[in-house]
Homo-oligomer: A and B are copies of this chain.
Amino acid sequence: MTDIVIAGIGQTEVGEHWDISLRELAFHAIQAAVKDAGGLTPQALFVGNMLSPNLSNQAHLGALLTDYAGLTGIEAVTVEAAGASGGAALRQGYLAVKSGLVDVALVVGVEKFTDKVGSDVDAAIATTGDSDYEAVQGLTASAQAALLMRRYMHEYHVPADGFAGFALTAHANGAGNQYAMFQKAIKPETYAKAEMVSDPLNMFDMAPNADGAAALVLTRRDLIPSNWPASHPLVKVAGSAAAAGTLALHDRKDPLFFDTAQISAGKAMKQVGLPLDGIDFFEYHDAFSIYAALQLEAVGFAIKGSGWKLAAEGAIGLKGRIPCATMGGMKARGFPGGAAGVYQAVEATIQLRGQAGKNQVEGARFGLIQSLGGPASTAVSHILERIE
């Protein structure tokens, strides 16, 4: 079996797309990715979506998007794993191509959050937690994150502005990403003065729910035409793994350890045969800053209780020890639910193609991307590699 490569990518701006429908949004990303992939014709479509049945009254996105994109006849399916839906769709596309039964797979993540008011979106997102035991108590995703953050600050004596570095880094990087929802750097004072959402979690400790779509085309390397343009360097999917864990926070032995993040990243790295310091950048799932801290620890970039220090000390900047959220992350690029994991893959591909402009991580060869569903109830990890 030859390598599996990302041959084309596409994305829409992340933001409030009140003027276009979910299908149009997805189509823009699909069209861009298919064009970017030259003449490759998709045989299968994997749609990463989190809450369209609930928020857009539209299920069956596989048929909807196949139809709307003029691809009728190919196979199509929606893949859902809460906030990790995009990563999970990539994983299914990868498995399909790996099976040898699908030559070219199209993966698209799409989400429309902002057609509904915030409280409806919060309620919908709460259905991705343990509905019978958490959502019924009013435990929203931000409340969960606040509980984790409070416990973390208590356990590890973290100061009030301990998490500021995550937002500062994300916004600094978002400034260089034309597709980001927020393209403006922020100052430490902005974080310090930010409105409290769910104490101790403030407005800058959480990513904005947004609309967006991202897509990519996967194929086997041996199917790439010999006249492939040098302007579209191929990026290999070198590692792919996923893990599901405990759904409810209250059922966890140690809520401050994201075991699924460790398991899936560990498996992916083992597939590549890569030590941790071989990873050149890390696209974590910073829907909440506490998630980012816990992922840095679970993956192994920091010891337990010190993930926040990497942000505080500038180690996650573009020139830091382990650059993170290099195109703005969930915080500044925005969090478009089931599209988020596909955005990560598209952004990592741009980095590995060496086309990230002023956000370029110099010499990047391996990028780790990790997509979470809830507080790591699901974690999907992929390692993308620049082909030399």
Known A60-B378, A92-B92, A99-B98; contact A74-B127, beta-carbon cutoff 8 A: no
Given A73-B260, A95-B95; 20 other pairs, CB 8 A cutoff: A1-B100, A53-B53, A57-B131, A59-B80, A60-B129, A60-B374, A62-B244, A62-B378, A63-B82, A63-B377, A67-B244, A72-B245, A73-B259, A73-B263, A75-B241, A75-B244, A76-B242, A78-B81, A96-B99, A101-B240
Nearest 9 pairs between A and B by C-beta? Answer: A75-B242, A76-B244, A98-B99, A63-B377, A66-B244, A60-B82, A60-B128, A58-B131, A78-B80
- Taking a contact as CB atoms under 8 Å apart, the answer to whether B102 and A95 are in contact is yes
Report the bound CA distance from A132 to B50 in whole Å: 19
Q: Is A30 an interface residue (CB 8 A)?
A: no
List which A214-260 residues lie within 8 A (CB) of chain B: 240-248, 251, 259-260
Which residues from chain B contact A80 at a C-beta distance below 8 Å? 53, 59-62, 77-80
- A56 interface contact, C-beta 8 A: yes
Interface residues of A (CB under 8 A from B): 1, 21, 23, 45, 50-51, 53-54, 56-64, 66-67, 71-82, 88, 91-92, 95-96, 98-102, 124, 127-132, 135, 240-248, 251, 259-260, 263-264, 373-374, 377-378, 380
Chain B residues with Cβ under 8 A from A251's Cβ?
Answer: 67
A-B contact pairs, 16 of them (CB 8 A): A21-B132, A51-B59, A53-B54, A53-B80, A53-B127, A54-B54, A59-B127, A60-B81, A60-B373, A63-B82, A63-B245, A73-B263, A74-B244, A77-B88, A78-B79, A95-B101
